[in-house]
Amino acid sequence: MIQKMRCRAWLFPLGRQVYRVYDSATLELLGHFLGAMLLCAISVGQAPLITIVMWGAAQGLVLGLRFMGLQSYREAQQHLHLRQVETQLCPYRWGFSYLVGVFLSGLTWGASVFLLNFSDEPAYHAVLVSGIFVLAGSAVVTLGSIFSLYLLFVLPMVLPVAVWLLLNSDPLYNAMALAALIYVFYTFMAAHSLSSSVQTLHDKNQEILATQREILLRLGRAGEYRDSETGEHIQRMSKSCQLLALQAGLGQTFADKMLYASPMHDVGKIGIADHILLKPGKLSEAERAVMQTHVLIGKNILDGHSCEIMQMASRIAETHHERWDGMGYPYGLAGTEIPLEGRITAICDVFDALTSQRPYKSAWSDARAVAFIREEAGRHFDPVLVGYFLEIIPAIVALRETCSQERDNLGYGNLTTVHPVGLIVPSDNKIFSTADVCA
């Protein structure tokens, strides 16, 4: 097992970056295709047509296999969020697929020696050999950030050509082989240096991101200790926001930002006085006006930072109580004037609050809460987002179980639940507004 893990560590020094490699794979495959077509065109008249066709067919087969792998990866990335909240795919599984594809690509380029054997034209030899080593050099840019990828691509590509040059009776060709090997040695050094630098930079960036997320998490918990919301509500709500963003086609990056930024939606409540925040009865108009300032307090706490997640958290804190019909606060924004992240948070926050049990109310049934969300489409909530939300209700409901299992690991297990803010709900038969649910 230890040897297996060491092998994985060598093959995937940047396993978490396999996703990025796949994201840019389309351009790499296009370059591979164009290069193969150019080499086939140059070889016409220098090698038998059947040999050129077979070589081109091998290139096409490898490109097809790699393209199928790319499509499979993207389809899995698109649909996996419906089954689990953490949407990252195993880097070793997909990294291995990518490694195989890169190796086969290098192997087919190395098979160019079969084309060389059919021609005695030095100019053709020079063009083809120089093209191979230009590919070896340019691969430092495209694959050099992961050294194992570079090795698996370049070695099967250049070694057959170098051996062919060495076995040639012409001393000039032997000298070309020696120069080529020296060239490859230094490109290996460049790729190894680049890979180490990128790995160090990647690890530092991950450390910074982890620190930022931890700060946001702790800020969210600070607000929870003063309000009626439990840690599980914050956890479920944030993951619901991530799922809704994915379902709406907003992309993995935006969805992950929602996951980490949305827990800050009510952080401004730490600035509300206890006699208002913890009041067991309904709030007066004056008290409700004070309570509504928590959105601006939250904005001021989170605003002014260059971190994109912090900026999103600030917008969420400021606008998650705006309504689609313009009757919300603090600005009375309407429709698409409300930032997208604020509209997403509003739906997920209200739904989870309705279906959660509190000391002051029983949990609504899922069907009743869904009906309420549907009724408020076009009034309180963005109707398009409501449509996407209704499509993933099973995944949203499943979060109750998964978040309950994870709460101890995430540090949510021991939060104290206090009385609600300005709300008395004696029974499940009482109908109340979203303003009451999420003051």
What digits encode the pLDDT tens for the residues 315-338? 999 999 999 999 999 999 999 999
Share of the chain above pLDDT 70, in %: 77
Range of the domain at 420: 228-437
Q: Establish if 220 belongs to a structural domain.
A: no
Q: Establish if 218 belongs to a structural domain.
A: no
Looking at the structure, do residues 7 and 147 belong to the same domain, yes or no? yes
Please tell me the predicted confidence (pLDDT) of residue 274. Answer: 82
Looking at the structure, do residues 179 and 237 belong to the same domain, yes or no? no
Looking at the structure, do residues 196 and 98 belong to the same domain, yes or no? yes
Total Cβ atoms within 10 A of residue 239: 25
Looking at the structure, do residues 6 and 142 belong to the same domain, yes or no? yes
Q: Specify burial of residue 42 (Cβ count, 10 A radius: 0-12, 13-18, 19+).
A: middle
Total Cβ atoms within 10 A of residue 79: 11
Distance CA 342, CA 338 (A): 7
Looking at the structure, do residues 15 and 85 belong to the same domain, yes or no? yes
The CATH number covering residue 361 comes to 1.10.3210.10
Looking at the structure, do residues 192 and 312 belong to the same domain, yes or no? no
Contacts of 332 (CB under 8 A, 6+ apart): 322, 326
Number of H helices and number of E strands within the chain?
20, 0
Looking at the structure, do residues 200 and 240 belong to the same domain, yes or no? no
Show which of 204, 239, 265 is a domain's final residue: 204
Looking at the structure, do residues 161 and 253 belong to the same domain, yes or no? no
Q: Establish if 176 belongs to a structural domain.
A: yes
- Quote the number of domains for the chain: 2
Distance CA 203, CA 183 (A): 30
Q: Establish if 180 belongs to a structural domain.
A: yes
Low-confidence ranges of the chain (pLDDT < 70): 1-24, 76-95, 219-231, 358-361, 403-439
Show which of 157, 189, 204 is a domain's final residue: 204
Show which of 169, 204, 239 is a domain's final residue: 204
Asked whether 394 and 259 are in contact (CB, 8 A), the reply is no
Q: Establish if 222 belongs to a structural domain.
A: no
Please tell me the predicted confidence (pLDDT) of residue 16. Answer: 52
Looking at the structure, do residues 244 and 176 belong to the same domain, yes or no? no
Q: Establish if 165 belongs to a structural domain.
A: yes
Q: Establish if 215 belongs to a structural domain.
A: no
Q: Establish if 380 belongs to a structural domain.
A: yes
Looking at the structure, do residues 236 and 196 belong to the same domain, yes or no? no
Looking at the structure, do residues 237 and 170 belong to the same domain, yes or no? no
Looking at the structure, do residues 328 and 368 belong to the same domain, yes or no? yes
Asked whether 221 and 238 are in contact (CB, 8 A), the reply is no
Kindly state the tokens that stand for 342.
């604020």
